[in-house]
Amino acid sequence: MANSLPTPRRIRLIIVGDEILSGRRQDKHFPKVVELLAARGLQLFGVEILPDDREALTAALRRSFASGDIVLSCGGIGATPDDHTRQAAAAALDLPLQLHPQAREAIAQRVAEMVREGKAPADLDAAENQQRMQMGVFPEGCEIVPNPYNRIPGFFIRDHTFLPGFPVMAWPMLEWTLDTRYHALHHAQAHAEHSFLVYGLPESRVAPVMHAVQARWAGVNAFSLPSMGETPRIELGVKGDPDDAVAALAYLREEVLRLGGRLSP
């Protein structure tokens, strides 16, 4: 039996927005995060969709900060009344909110660009510019996440990265986070996934074989994805340590054939 592999850091995604829960908008972050992680040899452990509700967000983030996981959060960091993520993160950590100096500088640069475009007053003390500055008010002690789209930053604290809900902003900020803060995790643990289709075999009959795979190869998990169409079939496979996965796949295939399964319709 292979030795147990070190447990990789768990990475979770939080998506914030009533518009997702109501169906007014469709989430695009989940598939993109999976894609960006996979390109770096990383995997998503879980995803949670939360409402624009201060109390619910605070409770969820309090649990999340206590988990020790790496968490990527998209949405709710604006400065309108329905944005609560910044305040909830501070409350979850029992920290005060303050205008981050680097965020202030970035927002001031953005205002200067808007002045040149005729889209904002030049006076930083003007009401609308002060409203923009609210988007740089973060929990005390955090670090900013640069935003190459419009300079309005996100923030990072205790392995939680908070990003805007807009994909055009969030995705490059997410890539920057993965490639700077978590570069050491890239491809740190070898991982392989193999599968094949099985016909004419009920899942209940193959389940004991899957248990046997996991008992024999500690670095491998077996999985089963049944399809119930006109031609029922099971996608059967293994994932985990590359060397063990190859041996486990061969064993799984042999057992499927021994039990009467077919590899073609």
pLDDT (tens digit per residue) in 187-231:
998 889 999 999 999 999 999 999 999 999 998 999 999 998 889
Model confidence band, residue 122 (pLDDT cutoffs 50, 70, 90): very high
Give the model's pLDDT for residue 190: 87
Local structure of residue 85 (DSSP, 8 states)? H
Q: Tell me, what amino acid is at 78? A: G
Assign 3 a pLDDT band (cuts: 50, 70, 90).
Answer: very low
Q: What is the pLDDT of residues 142-196, one digit of tens each?
A: 999 999 999 999 999 999 999 999 999 999 999 999 999 999 999 998 889 999 9
Query: How high is the pLDDT of residue 183?
Result: 97
Residues 6 or more apart from 188 whose CB is under 8 A from it? 8, 41
Across the range 2-10, mean pLDDT stands at 64
Region 85-104 average pLDDT: 98
- The Cα–Cα gap between 195 and 184 comes to 29
Q: Which two tokens stand for residue 145?
A: 């996440």
Dist. CA 216–CA 238, nearest whole Å: 13
Tell me, what amino acid is at 175?
E
CATH hierarchy code of domain 11-185: 3.40.980.10
Across 71-94, average pLDDT: 97
Which residues have C-beta within 8 Å of that of residue 150, sequence separation ≥ 6? 110, 169
Across 231-259, average pLDDT: 95
Burial class (CB within 10 angstroms; exposed 0-12, middle 13-18, buried 19+) of 17: buried
Under 8 Å between Cβ of 140 and 94: no
DSSP label at 224?
A: E
What is the reported pLDDT for 228? Answer: 87
- Strands in 160-163's sheet, in edge-to-edge order, are 46-50, 11-16, 70-74, 160-163, 154-157, 143-145
Mean pLDDT across the chain:
95
Averaged pLDDT, 127-144: 97
pLDDT band of residue 36 (cuts 50, 70, 90) is: very high
Q: Is 5 left (phi over 0), alpha (psi -120 to 50) or beta?
A: beta
Asked if 83 and 24 touch (Cβ cutoff 8 Å), the reply is no
Topology (CATH level 3) of domain 192-258: Alpha-Beta Plaits (3.30.70)
- The whole-angstrom separation of Cα 36 and Cα 203 is 33
In this predicted structure, the answer to whether residue 34 has a pLDDT above a threshold of 50 is: yes
Q: Which residue has the higher pLDDT, 210 or 4?
A: 210
Q: What percent of the chain has pLDDT over 90?
A: 93
Which tokens in the block code for residue 24? Answer: 């007014």
Say if residue 2's pLDDT is above 70: no
| pLDDT for the residue 6 | 58
Can you give the residue ranges of every domain in the chain? 11-185, 192-258
Is the pLDDT higher at 228 or at 1? 228
Helix, coil or strand: residue 246:
helix
- Rounded Cα distance between 206 and 84, Å, is 48
What is the DSSP code string of 120-187?
Answer: S-S-TTSHHHHHHHGGGEEETT-EEE--TTTS--EEEETTEEEE-S-HHHHHHHHHHHHHHTTGGGTT
Q: Decide: helix, strand or coil at residue 198.
A: strand
